[in-house]
Amino acid sequence: MNNIKFLGKMIVENLKTQGMPFPTDPRVCTGWAKDLPRKSDTIIFTSCMYQIEPIVPTLSKFLPSAEKLKSLMPLSRLLKPTQQQIQRSYRILNNIVLSLKQSGINVGYLYEEEPYSGALLLELGLLDEFSDWAKHVASLFREKGIRKVITVDPHTHNALTRYGEFTQFEVEVISYLELVTPKKVEGEYVVHDSCLYSRFLGLREKYRSLIERSGIKTIEDPMITGKDTSACCGGPLAPVDREVSEKIASNRTRDLEKLGNKLLVLCPICYVTLSPHFSGEVLDLAEVIL
Amino acid sequence: MSWDQAVERAMKNSIPRVYSILEEHPYLSDLAKRLRDKKKEVINNLEEYVEKTLESVKKNGGTGYLASTPEEVREIVYKIVGSGKRVILGKSMVAYECGVRKFLQEKGNEVWETDLGEFLIQLRDDPPSHIIAPAIHLTKEQVGDLLEGKLGGVDKNSTHEELVSKVRDFLREKFVTANIGITGANAVAADTGSIVLVENEGNIRFTTVSPSIHIAITGVDKILPTLEYALIEAMVQAAYGSLYPPTYINVTSGPSSTGDIENKRVRPAHGPKEFHLILVDNGRFKASKEPILRDTLLCIRCGRCHFHCPIYRALGSKWGDPPYSGPMGAMWSYVLNGDGKPALLCAHSGGCKEVCPMGINIPKVLEYIKWKSLKNGNR
Asked if B371 lies within 8 A of A232 by C-beta distance, the reply is no
* C-alpha closest to that of B365 among B320, B325, B335, B337: B335
Q: From the CA atom positions of chain A, what is the Rg in Å?
A: 18
Q: pLDDT tens-digit profile of A104-148?
A: 999 999 999 999 999 999 999 999 999 999 999 999 999 999 999
State whether residue A67 sits within 8 Å of chain B by CB.
Answer: no
Other beta carbons within 10 Å of A20: 22
User: Could you state, in order of their start, the residue ranges of all structural domains in chain B?
Assistant: 50-282, 285-375
A73 pLDDT band, cuts 50/70/90, is low
Asked whether the predicted pLDDT for residue A62 surpasses 90, the reply is: no
Chain B hits for A6, CB-CB cut-off 8 Å, are 379
CA distance B115 to A160: 49
Contact residues for B163 (Cβ-Cβ < 8 A; gap 6+): B140, B143, B144, B147, B154
Provide the pLDDT for residue A72.
67
- Minimum Cα–Cα distance from B12: chain A residue: A223
Provide the pLDDT for residue A186.
94
- Percent of chain A residues past pLDDT 70, beyond the cut: 97
Q: Give the burial class of B37: count Cβ atoms within 10 A of its Cβ; 0-12 exposed, 13-18 middle, 19 or more buried.
A: exposed
CB B332 within 8 A of CB B221: no
* C-alpha closest to that of A194 among A249, A246, A270: A270
Asked if B379 lies within 8 A of A5 by C-beta distance, the reply is yes
B139 pLDDT band, cuts 50/70/90, is confident
Residue B268: is the preceding peptide bond cis (ω within 30°)?
yes
CB B335 within 8 A of CB A220: no
CATH number for the domain formed by residue range(s) B50-282: 3.40.50.10420
Question: Average of pLDDT values for A242-258?
Answer: 97
Q: How many CA atoms lie within 13 A of B149 on its CB side?
A: 9
Asked whether the predicted pLDDT for residue A68 surpasses 90, the reply is: no
- Minimum Cα–Cα distance from B366: chain A residue: A125
State whether residue A3 sits within 8 Å of chain B by CB.
Answer: yes
Interface test mutation site (partner A, options B8, B349, B352, B375, max chain A beta carbons within 10 A): B349
More confident site: A70 or A133:
A133
Q: Nearest-CA distance from A39 to chain B in Å?
A: 35
| DSSP state letters, B218-270 | EEGGGEESSHHHHHHHHHHHHHHTT--S-SEEEEE-SS--B-TTTT--BS--S
**Which range among A69-78, B21-30, B75-84 shows the weakest confidence by mean pLDDT?**
A69-78
Q: How many CA atoms lie within 13 A of B118 on its CB side?
A: 23
Residue B245: is the preceding peptide bond cis (ω within 30°)?
yes
Provide the pLDDT for residue B379.
61
Q: pLDDT tens-digit profile of A276-289?
A: 999 999 999 999 99
- Minimum Cα–Cα distance from A3: chain B residue: B379
Chain A hits for B375, CB-CB cut-off 8 Å, are 128
Asked whether the predicted pLDDT for residue B377 surpasses 90, the reply is: no
- The phi, psi pair for B28, rounded to 5°, reads -65, -40
Provide the pLDDT for residue B186.
98
Provide the pLDDT for residue B78.
98
Asked if B373 lies within 8 A of A199 by C-beta distance, the reply is no
CA distance A240 to B346: 10
CB B336 within 8 A of CB B351: no
Chain B hits for A228, CB-CB cut-off 8 Å, are 308, 351, 354-355
State whether residue B288 sits within 8 Å of chain A by CB.
Answer: no
A24 pLDDT band, cuts 50/70/90, is confident
CA distance B182 to B217: 7
CA distance B344 to B368: 10
Asked whether the predicted pLDDT for residue B192 surpasses 80, the reply is: yes
Provide the pLDDT for residue B376.
86
Grouping H, G, I as helix, E, B as strand and the rest as coil, residue A216 is: coil
Q: pLDDT tens-digit profile of B148-157?
A: 999 999 999 9
CA distance B311 to A232: 9
ipTM of the complex: 0.96
The DSSP call for residue B83 is S
More confident site: A80 or B145:
B145
Asked whether the predicted pLDDT for residue B87 surpasses 90, the reply is: yes
CB B281 within 8 A of CB B68: yes
Other beta carbons within 10 Å of A82: 10
Question: Average of pLDDT values for B7-23?
Answer: 95
CA distance A178 to A161: 15
Q: pLDDT tens-digit profile of A154-200?
A: 999 999 999 999 999 999 999 999 999 999 999 999 999 999 999 99
CB B371 within 8 A of CB A124: no
CA distance A113 to A93: 17
Provide the pLDDT for residue B378.
64
Chain A hits for B351, CB-CB cut-off 8 Å, are 199, 228-231
CA distance B301 to B197: 13
Strand partners, A174: A150
* C-alpha closest to that of A152 among A124, A127, A179: A179
Q: Nearest-CA distance from A27 to chain B in Å?
A: 30
Asked if A223 lies within 8 A of B11 by C-beta distance, the reply is yes
CA distance B350 to B346: 9
Grouping H, G, I as helix, E, B as strand and the rest as coil, residue B67 is: strand
More confident site: A228 or A25:
A228
Grouping H, G, I as helix, E, B as strand and the rest as coil, residue B5 is: helix
- Which 9-38 residues of chain B touch chain A by CB within 8 A? 11-12, 15-16, 19
Instruction: Tell me the torsion sign for CA atoms A209, A210, A212, A216.
Output: negative
State whether residue A229 sits within 8 Å of chain B by CB.
Answer: yes
CB A204 within 8 A of CB A278: no
Q: Nearest-CA distance from B379 to chain A in Å?
A: 5
Asked whether the predicted pLDDT for residue A75 surpasses 80, the reply is: no
Asked whether the predicted pLDDT for residue B261 surpasses 60, the reply is: yes
Q: Nearest-CA distance from A233 to chain B in Å?
A: 8
More confident site: A17 or B188:
B188
Provide the pLDDT for residue B91.
85
CB A29 within 8 A of CB A90: no
The correct answer on CATH 3.90.850.10 for the domain covering A188-288 is no
Asked whether the predicted pLDDT for residue B135 surpasses 80, the reply is: yes
B179 pLDDT band, cuts 50/70/90, is very high
| DSSP state letters, B147-167 | HHHHT-S--TTS-HHHHHHHH
State whether residue B351 sits within 8 Å of chain A by CB.
Answer: yes
- Minimum Cα–Cα distance from B313: chain A residue: A248
Contacts 24+ apart (CB under 8 A), A199-204: A199/A227, A199/A228, A199/B349, A199/B350, A199/B351, A199/B353, A199/B354, A200/A158, A200/B348, A200/B350, A200/B363, A201/A154, A201/A157, A201/A158, A201/A161, A201/A175, A203/A154, A203/A175, A203/A177, A203/A178
Provide the pLDDT for residue A209.
98
B147 pLDDT band, cuts 50/70/90, is very high
Domain B285-375 fold: Fumarate Reductase Iron-sulfur Protein; Chain B, domain 2 (1.10.1060)
* C-alpha closest to that of B322 among B340, B337, B300, B307: B337
- Which 242-271 residues of chain A touch chain B by CB within 8 A? 244-245, 247-248, 251-252
CB A277 within 8 A of CB A259: no
Question: Average of pLDDT values for B258-275?
Answer: 95
User: Could you state, in order of their start, the residue ranges of all structural domains in chain A?
Assistant: 4-178, 188-288
* C-alpha closest to that of B61 among B261, B214, B224, B253: B253
Asked if A236 lies within 8 A of B12 by C-beta distance, the reply is no
Directed axis angle between helix B27-44 and helix B227-240, to 10°?
Answer: 120
* C-alpha closest to that of A193 among A244, A227, A237, A150: A227
Other beta carbons within 10 Å of B357: 25
B71 pLDDT band, cuts 50/70/90, is very high
Asked whether the predicted pLDDT for residue B1 surpasses 60, the reply is: no
Question: Average of pLDDT values for B201-222?
Answer: 97
Question: Average of pLDDT values for B322-347?
Answer: 97
